[in-house]
Amino acid sequence: MTMQNLTILGSTGSIGVNTLDVIRRHPQRYRVIALCAHKQVDRLFDQCCEFQPPYAVVCGPEAAADLQRRLRAASCPTRVEYGADALIRMAELPEVDAVMAAIVGAAGLPSTLAAAMAGKKVLLANKEALVMAGPVLMRAVRDSGACLLPIDSEHNAIFQSLPSDFSGDLSKSGVRSILLTASGGPFRTIVAADLESVTPDQACAHPNWVMGRKISVDSATLMNKGLEMIEAHWLFNVPAGQIEIVIHPQSIIHSLVQYIDGSVIAELGNPDMRTPIAHALAYPERIATGVEPLDLFKVATLNFERPDFERFPCLELAYRALRAGNSAPATLNAANEVAVQAFLDGKIGFTAIPKIIASVMDGSSVLALATLADVLAADSAARRMAEQLVARSMVA
């Protein structure tokens, strides 16, 4: 059994914590080389003491100095670095075999791209990287020979449900369409008028999954499913017209693949991120995760609904961005990040999120993306426009 060396980008978030839980169960298979976090220094300290990685990365020099002092006092040999350039170095380390890319939002793009360009096994939990820079990231994967494995439960389910020799051609594999499941979030049954007054805490109370606040709001607006639809397009070479969103409140079926012969193959399991994480870590093998086996008798019933595009306009905005292509998805993602943060900060209401995104998309040109600089320029322009719209709405 070969030891696999790992860098975890975003080790203190929910994906990072679950990844370390899986690793903890298989010390003979995995060694942590670098743990990278933002500001949760206390949690990162505990992780470093347990896993003894050679490197750790935090956001700034003060946090780095504080963490380094504490680690020395605890006789932990980990060396602490800081900043975006350090994240990229950790992704490119020659001794690293696999990189868990779990930094949320646009902040995770440069390090994820660096891992792909370095030919690593990239465990992709940062969907925004593909949404923003699909053509650039996929080109890097092809050119370097990197292995890109999806961590989102839906995309991991699709990956498992496609033929093992799937090469990106749906027709040759007999695939008719991809059915991307969504729980519907906390507001699936709420009347449209009541969406005006929902609070950040209500939006972050997901019925099935424990997630960070940003992704929880995305799930409440269904933008998360829109972003996943764009991600699925790039991962599996599927046009928008062959990706159907299916509301499935129980989150037991994680996604499905429909074949031309009438067969539908699905991946089922309890809603626990350790399942897709372990699948990608060990692929093509299977390893234990600590996840409870699915009890179909306890589940008893599985329900399915069509999404309401009028109550949740973020879905239609995502389809619009994918159809426009080029820089449009990067614009969508940037505007969404700004609008969601403004909502979490109490600056705008819940229903203002899609309005701001739509206004930014209406006011932005769709430009070709050839390099990371092109992606970051589109991202920056959209953020400036979204921030101006937030400021105006606060004055109004």
Q: Are residues 160 and 141 in the same domain?
A: no
- Whether 320 maps to a domain, the answer reads no
Q: What is the pTM of this model?
A: 0.92
Could you report the per-residue pLDDT of 165-184, keeping only the tens digit for each? 998 999 899 999 999 999 99
Q: Are residues 110 and 207 in the same domain?
A: no
Q: Are residues 338 and 212 in the same domain?
A: no
Could you report the per-residue pLDDT of 54-113, keeping only the tens digit for each? 999 999 999 999 999 999 999 999 999 999 999 999 999 999 999 999 998 888 999 999
pLDDT at 331: 98
Domain extent for 353:
325-396
Q: What is the mean pLDDT of residues 382-392?
A: 96
Under a CB-based contact definition with an 8 Å cutoff, are residues 334 and 341 in contact?
no
Q: Are residues 248 and 161 in the same domain?
A: yes
- Which residue in 312, 76, 344, 90 sits closest to 204, CA to CA? 344
- Whether 319 maps to a domain, the answer reads no
pLDDT at 396: 57
pLDDT at 254: 97
Could you report the per-residue pLDDT of 247-264, keeping only the tens digit for each? 999 999 999 999 999 999
- The residues with which 34 forms a beta bridge, in sequence order, are 7, 55
Other Cβ atoms within 10 Å of 370 Cβ, number:
12
Mean pLDDT, all residues of the chain? 95
Place 215 in a pLDDT band, splitting at 50, 70 and 90. Answer: confident
Domain edge (last residue) among 129, 150, 171: 150
Q: Are residues 97 and 108 in the same domain?
A: yes
Q: What is the mean pLDDT of residues 304-310?
A: 94
Give the whole-angstrom CA distance, residue 1 versus residue 383. 47
Q: Are residues 280 and 383 in the same domain?
A: no
Higher local confidence (pLDDT), 345 or 193: 345
**Which DSSP string do the residues of 26-82 spell out, in sequence order?**
-TTTEEEEEEE-SS-HHHHHHHHHHH--SEEEESSHHHHHHHHHHHHHTT--PEEEE
Q: Are residues 103 and 252 in the same domain?
A: no
- Whether 223 maps to a domain, the answer reads yes
Other Cβ atoms within 10 Å of 380 Cβ, number:
13
Place 2 in a pLDDT band, splitting at 50, 70 and 90. Answer: confident
Domain edge (last residue) among 84, 115, 150: 150
pLDDT at 23 > cutoff 70: yes
- Whether 318 maps to a domain, the answer reads no
Percent of the chain scoring above 70 in pLDDT = 99
Under a CB-based contact definition with an 8 Å cutoff, are residues 253 and 302 in contact?
yes
- Which residue in 86, 38, 35, 81 sits closest to 61, CA to CA? 81
Domain count, the chain: 3
pLDDT at 395: 58
Give the whole-angstrom CA distance, residue 18 versus residue 24. 10
Higher local confidence (pLDDT), 395 or 142: 142
Q: Are residues 161 and 309 in the same domain?
A: yes
In this structure, the strands spanning 147-150 and 175-182 are unpaired
Other Cβ atoms within 10 Å of 240 Cβ, number:
16
Q: Are residues 134 and 187 in the same domain?
A: no
Angle between helices 352-362 and 328-344 (to 10 degrees): 150
Domain edge (last residue) among 286, 313, 340: 313
Cβ-defined contacts of 142-146 (< 8 Å, 24+): 143/117, 144/116, 144/117, 144/118, 144/119, 145/119, 146/115, 146/116, 146/117, 146/118, 146/119, 146/120, 146/121, 146/122
- Whether 208 maps to a domain, the answer reads yes
Give the whole-angstrom CA distance, residue 281 versus residue 123. 8
- Whether 305 maps to a domain, the answer reads yes
In this structure, the strands spanning 79-82 and 55-58 are parallel
Query: Hey, what are 148's tokens?
Result: 């890109």
Q: Are residues 75 and 96 in the same domain?
A: yes
- Whether 168 maps to a domain, the answer reads yes
pLDDT at 210 > cutoff 80: no
Q: Are residues 140 and 269 in the same domain?
A: no
Q: Are residues 135 and 258 in the same domain?
A: no
CATH number of the domain at 373, please. 1.10.1740.10
CATH number of the domain at 116, please. 3.40.50.720
- Whether 126 maps to a domain, the answer reads yes
User: Residues with Cβ < 8 Å from 57, sequence gap 6 or more?
Assistant: 34, 35, 36, 37, 80, 81, 82, 83, 86, 87, 90
Give the whole-angstrom CA distance, residue 347 versus residue 386. 13
Give the whole-angstrom CA distance, residue 307 versus residue 182. 9
